[in-house]
Amino acid sequence: MKSAVGGIAFGEFLILVILIGLSIAIMVLERHDPDHSPLVYIATPLRPLKNLAGAITRVRYLESENSILRGRLTELRYENAMLRERLQRSGQAEKLFEFAQDYPETLVFARVMTYLERRDGGGIIIDKGTGEGITTNMVVITSQGLVGIVTRVGYRASQVKLIDEPGYRVSAMVRRSRSTGIMSATADGRILMEWVAPDAPVSDGDTIVTSGMGLVAPYGIPIGVVAGIELEPQKFSQILEIRPCQDPRHLEQVAVILRSPPDFTRMLGKDKQ
């Protein structure tokens, strides 16, 4: 073993040559006749282990495929939800658009951006403002009825006071009997119609619409239906509880009537002149 071949110990050299020879034999046999390769005989007793290794590889592949498919499923679910949402929204917009075709006033369509807490002034913010010709006191509606009135205007957004918020008042009328009164809201969100004549024929389910008096809101916009009737303690008038024709807290699309209320002060001043 002390002799050396090119600086390599003979033992090492011999082992290297044998192993390389075996390796080359395996390579050649693997390529030309894989079915009769000596490795087949080594592999036969190892078949269960080979199967195990194959199973582990397959499981890993399936795991990775499963993970990809789960991701795809999540994507498709999201896409599906978005499409449904878009369909729903376009349905609402379509209704509003159809309604606008027949409506005599010019309307500006707006999307509800957010609902405000009462401490922030209440109401909703819509995505249209002075840029689209909106000014304060313009009436906001949907195809189902009255929503509220514009109270603040910015260039690209406006704040709308809803009909179920205290401070909002509009002259209203019972459609069937033409009895008039003033619609307002209580602090707890109930909508009432006051100052209705005590002998006015009103019954539950009667539709309440805007009367057009005061000229702020045009005539005939539905507000809701009568849900309760009571006589004022002094019996001077009836108080009607109104169930609104839509939930003003769940709106997505609205329309603003582009008609400013008349300035009575200026009108009266002109008459005096």
Partner 1 sequence: MLFILVVLALDLLLFSKIVIFGLSPDATVIIVVYAALRFGCITGMFIGFVVGVGQVAMMTTASGALPLASTLVGYLVGKFGTKVAYESALVQVVIIFLSVLILDSINLVWLEPKHFVFDMLRFSLGTAAYTAVVGAALAGVVSHLTERLV
Which residue, 11 or 205, has its beta carbon nearer to partner 1?
A: 11
Which residue, 30 or 94, has its beta carbon nearer to partner 1?
A: 30
- Least separation, in Å, of the C-beta of 142 and partner 1? 54
Residue 228 is a binding residue for partner 1 (CB under 8 A): no
- Least separation, in Å, of the C-beta of 155 and partner 1? 50
Distance of CA 239 to the CA centre of its chain: 37
Q: Give the gyration radius of the chain's Cα atoms.
A: 40
Taking CB under 8 A as the criterion, the residue among 4, 5, 49, 69 binding partner 1 is 49
Looking at the DSSP bridge assignments, the partners of residue 244 are 224
Residue 71 is a binding residue for partner 1 (CB under 8 A): no
Which residue, 52 or 69, has its beta carbon nearer to partner 1?
A: 52
Residue 62 is a binding residue for partner 1 (CB under 8 A): no
Binding mask 9-38 for partner 1 (x = CB under 8 A): --xx--xx--xx-xxx-xx-xxx-------
Taking CB under 8 A as the criterion, the residue among 56, 68, 73, 231 binding partner 1 is 56
By the criterion CB under 8 A, which residues form the site for partner 1? Answer: 8, 11-12, 15-16, 19-20, 22-24, 26-27, 29-31, 39, 42-43, 46, 49-50, 53-54, 56-57, 60
